[in-house]
Amino acid sequence: MQLLRPESVEAAAAALGNGSVALAGGTDLVPMLRDRLVSAETLVELKEVVPRGVEGTRIGAGTTLAELEVDPEIPAALREACALAASPQLRSMGTIGGNLLQATRCWYWRLDFPCFLHGGSRCHAREGAHREHAIFGNERCASAHPSDPAAALLALGARVRTSRRELGLEELYRLPTEDDRNVTALEPGELILELDVPRPEASVYLKAMDRARWAFPLVGVAAARFADGVRLALAGVAPIPWRLDSETDLDRATPLPGTAYKVELARPLIRRALHSVT
């Protein structure tokens, strides 16, 4: 394994691909390298090339969660989602760009079962132990997306500027399909550089977890009110961050026997989030 330290976005983008992997805060990647869930010939350190800091509505992808959680310029939903994510050490290491791209905590995936998401033929969680798993979009893969900030940014209608294009956060994520098991639409060598986060009139992030702090969301609910209405997004309920139009969308959930409670849990959280922003 080798480490590259490019000095420009172009150099970094050029270095990525062919088995090389981008390294930012390292909080997800380093343990996965250790566990050999990711094998990389080459790591490309992004510290020097990805913007860091907040300017108006723009957030550099290299900004840490710790920086965001205390920044008064940041919409409440994102601030709260950052503050409720992980632990202080990880928030001071992890970047917002990396957070959006973190891998699922599905135990089958983390233990390298030959599951659908790893390119296999079936989802082990559907038949197996799945109390932390998905209630939407879970037909092929029942993993749950663990990012709190992703749900907040989705509710906020954030846009993403990459090294190649600009896209809505919704377009960044995709459910894994038979042909492509990725959960993001990033192309090889494409880097997230910046987020543009519209200012809502009000926003909030609520999170249910297994202990009071330092756990991934069972259900996280972000709500943001704009002039044209309220946007809702959920964490921990689908393989990707999940938009809902309203609470009644929960009726369309497809829970597994062990995740039915998440539907019940999401209802009051959505109601409270809506109440809080309206």
Partner 1 sequence: MARLIRTEKEVEGRYTEQWVVVEEDAAIDQWPAGPRETVGRPVPRVDGYERARGQALFTADVALPGMLHAAVLRSPYARARVRRLDLSRAREADWVLGAIGPDDCDALTLEPGFHGEPVAAVAVDSPGRAREALELIDVDWEELEPLLDPEEAVRRNELHEEPRRYERGDADAAFADADVVVEAEYRTQTVLHNPLETHQSVCRWEGDTLEVYISTQFIWGVRDDIAESLDLPPDRIRVICNFMGGGFGAKNGAHAQTFIAIALASQTGRPVRCALSRREENLATGNRNSTIQRLRAGARSDGTLVALEGEFVNAVGWKGWSGPTYGPMEMLYACENVRTLTYGAKLNLPPNAAFRAPGFVEGTFGLECLLDELAGRLELDPLELRARNHADRDLADDRPYSSKNLLECYRRAEPHWARRDAVRARSEGPWRRGVGLASQIWYGGGGPPSYAWVRIGSDGRATVITAMQDIGTGTRTAMAQIAAEELGLPLDRVRVSLGDSSRGPYASISAGSSTTPSMGPAVRAAAADAARQVIEIAAQRYHLEERLLTMQGGKVVSSDGGSWPLEEVTGLLEDAQILGKGARGPNPTGMRVLTFGIQVADVAVDVETGEVRVERIAAIHDVGRVINPLGAQSQVEGGIIQGVGHTLSEERLVDPASGIVLTQSLDAYKLPTIADVPEIVVELLDIPDEHLTNLGSKGLGEPPIVPTAAAIVNAIRDATGADVRSLPVSRDEMLRALREARERERAAAPA
Partner 2 sequence: MDVVTSQTIGVEVNGTTYEREVEARRLLIHLLRDDLDLTGSHIGCDTGNCGACSVILDRTLVKSCMVLAIQADGASIETVEGLAGEEQLTPLQQAFSDHHALQCGYCTPGMLMSATALLRENPKPSDEEIAKAIQGNICRCTGYWNIFEAIKAASE
Residues at the interface with partner 1 (CB under 8 A): 105, 107-108, 110-111, 124, 127-129, 131, 208, 210-216, 218, 258, 260-261, 264-265, 267-269
According to DSSP, the β-strands at 192-196 and 229-235 are unpaired
Query: How crowded is residue 254: how many other Cβ atoms within 10 Å of its Cβ?
Result: 14
Q: Does 208 sit near partner 2 (CB under 8 A)?
A: no
Q: How far is the CB of 1 from partner 2 (least distance, A)?
A: 4
**Alpha-carbon distances of 264 from 63, 219, 250, 267, rounded to whole Å:** 35, 10, 9, 6
Q: Does 34 sit near partner 2 (CB under 8 A)?
A: yes
Q: Does 260 sit near partner 2 (CB under 8 A)?
A: no
Determine the distance from the C-alpha atom of residue 263 to the mean position of all C-alpha atoms in its chain, rounded to a whole number: 20
Nearer to partner 2 among residue 103 and residue 158 (C-beta) = 103
Q: How far is the CB of 102 from partner 2 (least distance, A)?
A: 12
The option from partner 1, partner 2, none interacting with 129 (CB < 5 to 8 A, set by class) reads: partner 1
Q: How many CA atoms lie within 13 A of 236 on its CB side?
A: 28
Residue owning tokens 């896209």: 167
Residue owning tokens 């599905």: 106
Nearer to partner 2 among residue 43 and residue 169 (C-beta) = 43
Nearer to partner 2 among residue 27 and residue 138 (C-beta) = 27
Nearer to partner 1 among residue 10 and residue 112 (C-beta) = 112
Q: Does 213 sit near partner 2 (CB under 8 A)?
A: yes
Distance between CA atoms of residues 234 and 242, nearest Å: 5
3-state DSSP call for residue 217? coil
Tokens read off for 74: 């940041």
Torsion of CA 169, 171, 177, 182, to 10 degrees: -50
**Alpha-carbon distances of 18 from 40, 43, 112, rounded to whole Å:** 9, 11, 22
The option from partner 2, partner 1, none interacting with 208 (CB < 5 to 8 A, set by class) reads: partner 1
Q: For partner 2, how many residues bind (rule: CB under 8 A)?
A: 27
The option from partner 2, partner 1, none interacting with 150 (CB < 5 to 8 A, set by class) reads: none
Tokens read off for 76: 């409440």
Facing residues of 220 across strands?
207, 235
Phi, psi torsion values for 267, nearest 5 degrees: -55, -60
Interface positions, 37-96, toward partner 2 (CB under 8 A): 43, 45, 86-90, 92-93
Nearer to partner 2 among residue 102 and residue 259 (C-beta) = 102
The option from partner 1, partner 2, none interacting with 93 (CB < 5 to 8 A, set by class) reads: partner 2
Residue owning tokens 């233990």: 111
Q: Which helix (H) or strand (E) holds 268?
A: helix 260-277
The option from partner 1, partner 2, none interacting with 216 (CB < 5 to 8 A, set by class) reads: partner 1
The option from partner 2, partner 1, none interacting with 30 (CB < 5 to 8 A, set by class) reads: partner 2
Interface positions, 8-27, toward partner 2 (CB under 8 A): 11, 15, 23, 26-27
**Residues contributing to the site for partner 2 (CB under 8 A):** 1-7, 11, 15, 23, 26-27, 30-31, 33-34, 43, 45, 86-90, 92-93, 213-214
